[in-house]
A = this chain, B = another copy of it.
């Protein structure tokens, strides 16, 4: 069996597409942000990616229908000759091994090259171990010019963050892209790292909307954010009741 299988629903004709990746990771910030933009732009699913680097598993939906775990590709066409279209890479899984990570990211780079794309945005979270009300969006990029451009749009570049670099698809897509002459930026929303964080995802979406020069409604994510506050309050109660979670860490919540 091939290591990676792609199944196309359609093969759209895209204008120098930008790749936006939002796979699971710290605080699921990237995934939440990408899924929100897909929803707001009404981006259209065009392909599923299956791989033996994903878990050997099917998921069952509410109707009892089983489907193989996958990543999904969506596209959005702006229909303007001067404006790049978008390919979104989302899903519930990243490759389970280092080799799997390399294979899957390389597959995406090849697909982007084939579609004439030259620019990649990867979205993620930057775990800081405590809750932040107003998360910054930190960046890393493949060229000094991109760093400057991102700074001018509100992305912060910090010498010490992230100290150990970026692990997984958000990092590899930039790294493998760069050796294929692609430009790339990773946008990381500050997050506690303790739970899914729509508030941080909102910050990332805000920046990305400016970069892409599109209007994106963030009210949905705000609702999710409110749900999150309820969840964290419950977590807080739980922590008090049971706890080997340290008081100081969660005491700050709500």
Contact = CB atoms under 8 A, between A and B. Distances in A.
Contact of A168 (B56, B64, B175): B56
B166 A66 contact: yes
Interface residues of A, number: 57
A67 B5 CA distance: 28
Interface in A83-130: 95-96, 98-99, 101-103, 105-107
Contacts of A1: 102-103, 106-107
Contact of A65 (B50, B59, B140, B169): B140
A56 B184 contact: no
A15 interface: no
Nearest to A141: B64
Interface stretch (A25-33, A142-150, A218-226): A142-150
A12 interface: no
Number of copies: 4
A205 interface: no
B58 A102 contact: no
A133 interface: no
A162 interface: yes
Nearest to A172: B56
A29 B144 CA distance: 33
A241 to B, nearest CB: 20
A250 interface: no
A68 B184 CA distance: 12
A58 B178 CA distance: 11
